[in-house]
Amino acid sequence: MIALLLFLVVCLVLMAGYPVAFSLAGTALLFAWVGQLAGAFDAAFLEALPNRLYGIMTNVTLIAVPLFVFMGVMLERSRVAEHLLDTMAELFGRLRGGLGFSVTLVGMLLAASTGIVGATVVTMGLLSLPTMLRRGYDPRIASGVICASGTLGQIIPPSIVLVLLGDVLSSAYQQAQLDMGIYSPETVSVGDLFSGALIPGLILVSLYLLYLGIVAWARPQAMPAIEPDPGGTRGSLLPRVASSLLPPLLLIVAVLGSILAGIATPTEAASVGAVGAILLALSRRQCSLGILQEVMRSTTRITCMVFLILIGASIFSLVFRGFGGDEVVADLLTNLPGGKFGAMLAVMLLMFLLGFVLDFIEITFVVVPIVGPVLLAMGIDPVWLGIMIAINLQTSFLTPPFGFALFYLRGVAPAEVSTRQIYAGVAPFIGLQLLMLSMLALWPAIATWLPGILY
């Protein structure tokens, strides 16, 4: 039971607000020291730490993380979202609910361009929420669609979440196969997860748009149309739409298309994306030396945070296994009623609750290595498991009262938008997320069909 106590203490320390990486490593080392004094822990487990750290340093897949972060931050600084929102609002604004459709589609494009949830929610909140409120939109609808579209970065590839999840699931899948006596294990790649997430992500966006269309038809006063600008013409609008929409679309196609076509690895595609983001910023005259320095500093901060958490999680997992935690988890999951279904349901519920207090990086590095090998050894498809985890965490980040996306929007929303309105606004989208999870649970081929065709 010491292993489970270690997990509980780590969660409590994180909830107290201490830095994640130091909480993971410090708590684990404290338990290891006390355990060694009591004769309950073998310090030989920590001798594997240098090899773990060297493996992190030489992991080619993880090189994609700083490159994708750079791409996302550069696109954020180059005001792509602002141009997209302006032109899409003009394009769809004459329709009832047009602004809501525009925010959803721009959120999808930003998700595919940046993959950074917090940045997308904050950007959309700053740019579109005041406009929607000024145009007479119901604050609940406006805040709900911004939060929901902002979290699409969890599932729409290329996503940093899927890069990290792919690397962790690959290790868990190989470990599960070795535990089953398979000594030439198959692998699961980041490209598999990208292709597996594509169809569920597009279905989710379609559900959002369908819901907004129904609300616009049933409650036109909640999502009014925008009066056309008498000075503007349709002819001048189309070139602006093309100039705003085509560059980010071409960048997404270059990055994601090269991965899905097998032309480039995720790391190589991420470098293409980083260069493409610089060229896009240059074309908009938004890439001065000062902006480049700011982007580099932001990229370095985010990357250091990710890798430091990964190192802390490696120490935690070694100590957790040293106390026999992997065997405890395996016994708990295999003895649950319902077999694979019961184990999967328990893990999904645990991750959903942990998503209230932990970020996706901590859950990916701490929880997935513990439960992943057990679930995969039961015969669960790794791609399907990865997409289920990503959508589950996306739902958790939307759910009151602790959803991260709600905190991000609350921080930038005008004072007249109450927290209760934000909570009420995301409720229908949470229902759509749960519907998507249920569809994926009933028909796993939604996630596994495309990777099977491509690879």
Q: Which residue has the tokens 């077999």?
A: 339
Taking 90 as the threshold, does the pLDDT of residue 439 lie above it?
yes
CA distance 71 to 253: 14
Please determine, for residue 210, whether its predicted confidence score (pLDDT) is greater than 90. yes
Kindly report the number of other CB atoms within 10 A of residue 188's CB atom: 24
Rounded distance between C-alpha atoms, residue 443 and residue 144, angstroms: 27
For residue 431, give both structure tokens: 């229902």
- The pLDDT > 90 percentage for the chain reads 9
In the prediction, which pLDDT does 445 show?
92
- The band of 304, judged by pLDDT with boundaries at 50, 70 and 90, is confident
Given a cut of 70, is residue 237 above it in pLDDT?
no
Average pLDDT of the residues in 18-31: 85
At 48 the pLDDT is 82
Range among 36-50, 194-208, 306-320, 365-379 rated most confident: 194-208
Query: Which pLDDT does position 203 carry in this prediction?
Result: 93
The closest of 149, 151, 171 to 161, measured between CA atoms, is 151
| Overall average pLDDT of the 260-279 stretch | 85
Question: Considering only CA atoms, which of 201, 96, 114 is closest in space to residue 432?
Answer: 201
The token duo for 391 is 């959508």
Question: How many other CB atoms are there within 10 angstroms of residue 301's CB atom?
Answer: 12
Instruction: Check whether 281 has a pLDDT greater than 70.
Output: yes
Looking at residue 39, its amino acid is: G
pLDDT tens-digit profile of 94-130?
A: 778 788 888 888 888 777 766 666 667 777 787 778 8
C-alpha span between 27 and 417 (Å, rounded): 40
Q: To 10 degrees, the CA torsion angle through 377, 316, 367, 58?
A: -70
364, two tokens: 């990916």
Q: How many C-beta atoms surround the C-beta of residue 219 within 10 A?
A: 13
pLDDT of 230 reads 54
For the chain, the C-alpha Rg in angstroms (whole number) is 23
87: nearest Cα among 75, 99, 73, 72: 99
DSSP output for 273-316: HHHHHHHHHHHTT---HHHHHHHHHHHHHHHHHHHHHHHHHHHH
Structure tokens at 361: 């990086």
Q: Measured in whole angstroms, how far is the alpha carbon of residue 44 from the centre of its chain? A: 35
pLDDT-derived band of residue 236, with 50, 70 and 90 as boundaries?
A: low
Evaluate if residue 285 carries a pLDDT over 90: no
Task: Determine how many CB atoms are found less than 10 A away from the CB of residue 391.
Answer: 25
- Check whether 435 has a pLDDT greater than 90: yes
pLDDT, tens digit, 9 for 90 and up, residues 381-426? 899 999 999 898 888 888 876 677 787 788 778 888 888 888 888 8
Tell me the two tokens of residue 287: 């890439």
Closest CA to 133 of 427, 424, 429, 415: 415
pLDDT of residue 399: 81
Candidates 165, 146, 167; CA nearest to 154 is: 165
Of 333 and 233, the structure prediction assigns the larger pLDDT to 333
Instruction: Please provide the average confidence, as pLDDT, over all residues in the chain.
Output: 82
Query: Strand locations in 40-117, DSSP E?
Result: none
